[in-house]
Structure 1
Amino acid sequence: MTQNSKLRTPIPYGRQHITEADIAAVVETLQSDFLTQGPKVAEFEQSFARYVGAKYAVAVSNGTAALHLCTMALGVNETSRVITTPITFVASANCVRYCGGTVEFADIDPATALIDIDKVRQMLESKPKGYYAGIIPVDFAGNPVNLEALRQLADEHGLWIIEDACHAPGGYFTDSHGEKQLCGNGRYADLAIFSFHPVKHIATGEGGMVTTNDEELYRKLLLYRTHGITREADLLEENHGGWYMEMQALGYNYRIPDMLCALGLSQLSRADEGLARRREIAQVYDAAFAGFQGIDRLVTTPEALAAGTGHAYHLYVVQVADRKGLYDYLREHNIFAQVHYIPAHTMPYYRNLGYKKGDFPEAEHYYDRCLSLPMYPTLTEEEQQFVIEKVKEFVANGR
Structure 2
Amino acid sequence: MEQKPTRDSFLPYGRQWIDEEDIQAVVEVLKGEYLTTGPYITRFEKAVASYVGATYAVSFANGTAALHGACFAAGISDGDEVITSPMTFAASANCILYQGGTPVFADIDEETYNLDPAEIEKKLTSKTKAIIPVHFTGQPAPLDEIAAIAKKHQLVVIEDAAHALGATYKGNKIGSISDMTMFSFHPVKHITSGEGGIITTNDKDYYEKLLQFRSHGITRDVNKLTENHGPWYYEMQFLGYNYRLTDIQAALGLSQLKKLDAFIERRKKYRTMYDEAFQGLQAITLPFQDSNRCSSWHLYVIRLQLDQLSGTREDIFNRLRQENIGVNVHYIPVYYLPYYQSLGYPKGLCPKAEKLYEEIITLPLFPAMTEKDVHDVIQAVKKVICHYRKA
1:331-346 equivalences in 2 (<5 Å): 331-346=321-336
TM-score, normalised via structure 2 length: 0.95
State how far apart, in whole Å, the 2-side matches of 1:308 and 1:104 are.
28
For 1:19-52, what per-residue CA distance to the aligned partner results, in whole angstroms no more than 9, with x for missing partners? 0000000000010000011000000000000011
Kindly indicate whether the alpha-carbon contact (under 8 Å) linking 2:150 and 2:156 is maintained by their aligned counterparts in 1.
yes
State how far apart, in whole Å, the 1-side matches of 2:272 and 2:313 are.
22
SS at match of 1:107: coil
The letter of the residue matching 1:82 is V
Kindly indicate whether the alpha-carbon contact (under 8 Å) linking 2:15 and 2:187 is maintained by their aligned counterparts in 1.
yes
TM-score, normalised via structure 1 length: 0.93
Unaligned runs of 5+ in 2: 307-311
The one of 342, 345, 348 equivalent to 2:338 is: 348
For 1:40-65, what per-residue CA distance to the aligned partner results, in whole angstroms no more than 9, with x for missing partners? 00000000000111000001100000
Unaligned runs of 5+ in 1: 175-179
Matched, 1:316 2:300: yes
For 1:269-327, what per-residue CA distance to the aligned partner results, in whole angstroms no more than 9, with x for missing partners? 01000001111111111111113111112313xxxx2x422110000001123321121
SS at match of 1:45: helix
1:177 maps to which residue?
none
Q: CA deviation at 1:372?
A: 0.7
Kindly indicate whether the alpha-carbon contact (under 8 Å) linking 1:113 and 1:298 is maintained by their aligned counterparts in 2.
no
2:309 maps to which residue?
none
State how far apart, in whole Å, the 2-side matches of 1:148 and 1:299 are.
18
Instruction: Provide runs of 4+ in structure 1 moved above 6 Å.
Output: none
1:203 maps to which residue?
192
Matched, 1:182 2:178: no
State how far apart, in whole Å, the 1-side matches of 2:123 and 2:103 are.
13
Q: CA deviation at 1:242?
A: 2.4
Q: CA deviation at 1:123?
A: 2.5
2:320 maps to which residue?
330
1:69-218 equivalences in 2 (<5 Å): 69-124=69-124, 127=125, 130-174=126-170, 180-185=171-176, 187=177, 189-218=178-207
1:23 maps to which residue?
23
The letter of the residue matching 1:224 is F
Kindly indicate whether the alpha-carbon contact (under 8 Å) linking 1:2 and 1:333 is maintained by their aligned counterparts in 2.
no
Q: CA deviation at 1:72?
A: 0.8
For 1:230-288, what per-residue CA distance to the aligned partner results, in whole angstroms no more than 9, with x for missing partners? 11222222222222211111100000110100000000001000001111111111111
1:221-260 equivalences in 2 (<5 Å): 221-260=210-249
Matched, 1:281 2:277: no
RMSD: 1.3
State how far apart, in whole Å, the 1-side matches of 2:180 and 2:236 are.
24
Kindly indicate whether the alpha-carbon contact (under 8 Å) linking 1:316 and 1:374 is maintained by their aligned counterparts in 2.
yes
Q: CA deviation at 1:3?
A: 4.7
Kindly indicate whether the alpha-carbon contact (under 8 Å) linking 1:196 and 1:207 is maintained by their aligned counterparts in 2.
yes
1:365 maps to which residue?
355
Moved more, 346-355 or 58-67: 346-355
Identity of aligned residues (%): 46
State how far apart, in whole Å, the 2-side matches of 1:296 and 1:356 are.
28
State how far apart, in whole Å, the 2-side matches of 1:146 and 1:108 are.
11
Q: CA deviation at 1:17?
A: 0.1
Kindly indicate whether the alpha-carbon contact (under 8 Å) linking 2:5 and 2:322 is maintained by their aligned counterparts in 1.
no
SS at match of 1:274: helix
The letter of the residue matching 2:248 is M
Kindly indicate whether the alpha-carbon contact (under 8 Å) linking 1:82 and 1:133 is maintained by their aligned counterparts in 2.
yes
State how far apart, in whole Å, the 2-side matches of 1:134 and 1:3 are.
52
State how far apart, in whole Å, the 1-side matches of 2:6 and 2:293 are.
37
Kindly indicate whether the alpha-carbon contact (under 8 Å) linking 2:335 and 2:345 is maintained by their aligned counterparts in 1.
yes
Aligned length: 382
SS at match of 2:199: strand
State how far apart, in whole Å, the 1-side matches of 2:338 and 2:232 are.
48
Kindly indicate whether the alpha-carbon contact (under 8 Å) linking 2:6 and 2:380 is maintained by their aligned counterparts in 1.
no
SS at match of 2:22: helix
State how far apart, in whole Å, the 2-side matches of 1:291 and 1:159 are.
44
